[in-house]
Amino acid sequence: MTNPDRMEPAPYAVRISQSAGRLHPEPPHPYRSDFQRDRDRIIHSRRFRRLEYKTQVFVNGTADHYRTRLTHTFEMTAVSRTLARALGANEDLAGCISLAHDIGHSPFGHVGEEALNDLMKDHGGFDHNLQSVRWVEVLERRYPNIDGLNLTWEVRAGLRKHQAHLPDEMLDGRPIGPYQQIEAQIADIADIADDITYQAHDVDDGLDAGLLSENQLAELGLWRLAQEQVERQFGRLNPGDRRLLTVRGLLNVQVEDILDESRTRIAAEVMEAPERMVAFSPEMELLQDETRSFLFKNMYFHPEVADENRASARMMSRLFLFLRRTSRYDGEPGQGADSAGWHSPVGLRLRVGHDRPLCIGTIYRIRSGCAKGRRIRIGWPVWSPSGRSQHDP
């Protein structure tokens, strides 16, 4: 077993001394590396704080202990850092990419994203991955005369994981593909840390909510694999302890699999390799596909979950259309407004560009207040759940 106190960066790890730097150069910090500064910039941003009210599975406020998009992000980041450290990669960089990976996510989960995509169909649609890039590069403004957070090239490239596979894709004149640095592969929301995390914690929340049962989960190979590992380690347990440890085991068996598989693939020139370096084994991919299909059928599309998210998305759509119809340009101090768009006090910003979607970042408290029949003051008119505006008294 490797001693974690003696682990050295592997040859393929991104070193801060070799970073491509920032689009707008800055002097070094006396005691924080550039990736550590990126981490703090993300955590201290408004967009990151808004994740607290964004849905993972259950609409925020359903219960105190269900995951939100924010807690999911923290759990995913912990998995990313574990994988990076075990593989000798740069865990600060992997953590940064994970922290920002969902910062552009729509309200109300994927149902909300579908609603926004439909609202924006005449303007290129809506993609939360691209929106995450826009938030950190354009919309979140924290420094004089600079749009965005001015993050390092490596973090910005890592957030473009879906563009990395495009031929000759570049960022600031540097190629970002066909495969990205190993830290970005670890944090890749499509395949690695995100899947590991949500397949464990969504099962946990589903069991707590009574939407899933252990008898149902026993049909899944991944659940049985985790349960067998728990039984080998702890023997007979009472049902409550067995359930808790099996949920934790879902994380363990996936992490162990990806470490074993990745160590057989990793080469020094990660970005020029003929295949992904960080990957699950074919056997684990089959188990994950089975679990993913099960969760969609029995949890994500369960009426208690889907109906609430759809109702919330409809409310959000009416608010979106109301603001688009009644808005004026009202740039928020220090928030980087431009003449191509507008920004409202509720944090909703719309922009129509040649190749960029109209963007929205609304907050759950508005929907919650409207659901209770209250009028919501958003700066100029007052909006009611019916979508009709009323002038301020």
Q: Which residue has the higher pLDDT, 382 or 115?
A: 115
pLDDT of 307-320, one tens digit each? Answer: 777 887 887 788 77
b/e map 262-281, b = 16+ CB within 10 Å: beeebeeebbebeebbbbbe
Q: What DSSP element (H or E) covers 36?
A: helix 34-43
Backbone angles phi, psi at 22, to 5 degrees: -110, 155
The reported pLDDT for the residue numbered 195 is 78
b/e map 131-141, b = 16+ CB within 10 Å: bbbbbbbbbbb
pLDDT of 188-217, one tens digit each? Answer: 644 577 778 878 888 888 898 888 999 999
Six-digit token string for 181: 């640095």
Backbone angles phi, psi at 175, to 5 degrees: -70, 145
Which range of 60-69, 331-340, 369-378 scores highest in mean pLDDT? It is: 60-69
Quickly list DSSP for 193-233: HHHHHHHHHHHHHHHHHTS--HHHHTTSHHHHHHHHHHHHH
The reported pLDDT for the residue numbered 306 is 73
Contact partners, residue 263, CB within 8 Å, separation at least 6: 87
pLDDT of 106-115, one tens digit each? Answer: 777 777 788 8
Query: End-to-end distance of the chain based on CA atoms, in angstroms?
Result: 69
Which range of 63-77, 289-303, 338-352, 357-371 scores highest in mean pLDDT? It is: 289-303
Tell whether the model's pLDDT for residue 221 goes beyond 70: yes
The reported pLDDT for the residue numbered 344 is 33
Are residues 357 and 332 in contact, defined by beta-carbon separation less than 8 angstroms? no
Tell me the domains of the chain and their CATH numbers.
Answer: 32-305 (1.10.3210.10)
Global confidence as pTM: 0.78
The predicted model gives 138-148 an average pLDDT of: 86
Are residues 310 and 113 in contact, defined by beta-carbon separation less than 8 angstroms? no
The reported pLDDT for the residue numbered 35 is 95
